[in-house]
Structure 1
Amino acid sequence: MTLSRDANASLSSEPLSSLDVSVVVPVHDEAGAAVTLAREINQAFDGWAFEMIFVNDASRDDTLALLTAAKSELPRLRVLSHAVNAGQSRAVRTGLLAARGGIIVTLDGDGQNPPHEAPRLAKALMDAPASVGLVGGRRVKRQDTAAKRQASLWANRIRKRLLHDDADDTGCGLKAIRRDVFLRLPYFDHFHRYLPALVMREGFENRYLDVDHRHRESGRSKYTNWGRLRASVSDILGVIWLKTRARQPGQIREL
């Protein structure tokens, strides 16, 4: 299927209410992990009305070919592909706009987020009041290098202090968000790291659950500590500006 630039929002052939959950996974050069991850997601959501959407962000390896071949084995699998590498945030957004489910669960494509945790976050959001827009994962026993863990710790502290959000681990790719809430959020590159603050900006609450974390078994990280730091400076300033420009209307009534 070939998509026009603005076609993502009309991709779905089923009504949004036909599925409980859409699992969105951005992937770039993850040939060693993508299909295994898809199988794990399929098993984790067995018995659910769900779909999984893998968004190939112009991989240079066999990621797209392997995922496309896996569709015959995994009928719940949808594969979208960017013609040009656009980054993780854009891939997440592509999947979310194409999703049919009312609840969206995101996972990183490297396999470090265990899929068995995903239904727990989805269920927590389904059971939460409508005022809760997002349930985020909080990685325990994180399986990364000491340098990466330390950099993440400081980044989370600085972001939390400046943005006054309530997330201890906004870098965890495992999140559940209401699709209608997501559609209200402003988009910018790297916005996936600021979802808790953006959700709060729209007047919704966040909740968090501890989740497992795994070693990366294949591929390599697409980010460096310096690269994250360089991007986060302008991003945080931008989110601060967005928060200052937000105005809430209070209760809305139709008369």
Structure 2
Amino acid sequence: MPDYLEALSPETVVLPSPPGITVDLTVVVAAYNEAGNIGPLIAEIAGVLRPRFAFEIICVDDGSTDATLAEAAALGEAVPELRIVRHSDRAGQSAAICTGIALARGGLVATIDGDGQNDPADIPALVDCARQAGAALVTGVRTVRHDRLSKRVASRLANAVRAGVLRDGCPDTGCGLKVFPRRAFERLPQFDGMHRYLPALFRARGAAVILRPVSHRPRVRGVSKYGNLERAALGAVDLLGVLWLTRRSRSPERVFEQR
């Protein structure tokens, strides 16, 4: 568990899950200033998963300055599977995902963006695929994007550059919908921006990666938290770091216990 989680004050964790409940799947929702989106999204996730899985939802509020936290907390009685954690200040989407996974109790983890553009109805298919194929990572690929033109063009260019350098075989690493074993994620290096490089990081550890087409919805409320120039500048630095990590990673094909 990251050191900063040890320092969480008792009031930081809102609506902790009741003890003794078995959880197979943890859904981690990272959110920053998503008031108006986070409430309907959490309710939608719960409605999709209840008939299928024993699950929990961990909403990580990444230091929002709007009503995101209050809106999520208002769902306490309607969504008893919900746990809410708040960062004292904004630490970034990767940090929010890492916080949620560090607190997760499910053996499988699903991640989904907090803006409501990912469709929770896609989660069961990704989970079934992970269970049936034994894949370490099942990642969604958005076949039709509902973003403004400049964002689609910037994303397409960034994906092409990343795929050319890392050769990770994934045309859309920016999709927030992913499913993977919690323990496999915990063995990965953690850094700001890592969520965009999960296919390359998993493959560097010798793990299988499966791509699944998923839906993408228009943003109903709020605005994107990332500018194209800001993302490009940070992405160039991250790309070099991930390239070094993947080239220096070594994993045996099999491990045998002798006695």
Q: TM-score, normalised by structure 1?
A: 0.93
Residue aligning to 2:102: 97
Show the counterpart of 1:169: 172
* Distance across 2 between alignment mates of 1:13 and 1:115: 24
What residue is the counterpart of 2:204 in the other structure? 201
Verify: 1:76 aligned to 2:94, yes or no.
Answer: no
Kept in 2: contact 1:12–1:99 (CA 8 A): no
| Candidates 130, 134, 146, aligned match of 1:125 | 130
**1:5, distance to aligned residue in structure 2 (A):** 1.9
Match of 1:153 in 2: 156
- 2:29 — aligned with what? 25
Provide the secondary structure at the position in 1 that maps to 2:4.
coil
Equivalent pair of 1:58/1:85 in contact (CA under 8 Å): yes
Match of 2:11 in 1: none
Residue type of the alignment partner of 1:19: V
Match in the other structure for 2:217:
214
1:105-144 → structure 2 map (5 Å cutoff): 105-129=110-134, 132-144=135-147
Q: Work out the CA distance in 2 between the residues paired with 1:44 and 1:174.
A: 15
Match of 1:45?
Answer: 49
Quote the offset at 1:4 in angstroms.
6.9
Question: Following TM superposition, by how much is the alpha carbon of 1:241 offset from its aligned partner in structure 2, in angstroms?
Answer: 0.8
Q: State, as a whole percentage, how many aligned pairs show the same letter.
A: 43
Instruction: State the shift of 1:18 in Å.
Output: 2.7
Instruction: For 2:166 and 2:18, locate their aligned partners in 1 and report how far apart those are by CA, in whole Å.
Output: 38
Partner of 1:87: 92
Assess if the C-alpha contact under 8 Å between 1:113 and 1:173 holds in 2: yes
Per the alignment, do residues 13 and 236 of structure 1 end up closer, same or farther by CA in structure 2, a change over 3 Å counting?
Answer: farther
Normalised to the residue count of structure 2, the TM-score between the two structures is: 0.91
Provide the residue aligned with 2:12 in structure 1.
none
Q: Per-residue displacement from partner, 1:117-170 (whole Å, max 9, x unpaired)?
A: 1111111101112xx210000102210011111111111111011001011100
Q: CA deviation at 1:92?
A: 0.6
RMSD, aligned CA: 1.8
Q: 1:12 to 1:162 in 2, by over 3 A?
A: farther
2:140·2:212 contact (CA, 8 Å) conserved in 1? yes
Q: In the TM superposition, what is the alpha-carbon distance from 1:14 to its structure 2 partner? A: 5.5
Deviation at 1:13, TM superposition (A): 7.5
**Cα deviation per residue 1:153-204 (whole Å; 9 max; x = unaligned)?**
1111110110010111000001111111101100110000000000001110
User: What is the count of residue pairs matched by the alignment?
Assistant: 248
169 and 69 in structure 1: CA distance in 2 versus 1, 3 angstrom threshold:
same
Q: Structure 1 regions of 5+ residues with no counterpart?
A: none
Distance across 2 between alignment mates of 1:18 and 1:196: 29
Judged with a 3 Å threshold, the aligned counterparts in structure 2 of structure 1 residues 196 and 12 are, in CA distance, closer, same or farther, namely farther
Distance 2:5 2:144 in 1: 41
Deviation, structure 1 residue 250: 3.1
- Mark the CA change 1:181 to 1:12 in structure 2 (over 3 Å): closer, same or farther: farther
| Aligned partner of residue 107 in structure 1, secondary structure | strand
Would the aligned equivalents of 2:17 and 2:81 in 1 still touch at CA under 8 Å?
Answer: no
Tell me the CA shift for residue 245 of structure 1: 1.4
What is the alpha-carbon distance in structure 1 between the residues aligned to residue 228 and residue 5 of structure 2? 34
* Structure 2, unpaired ranges of 5+: 8-15
Q: CA deviation at 1:246?
A: 1.1
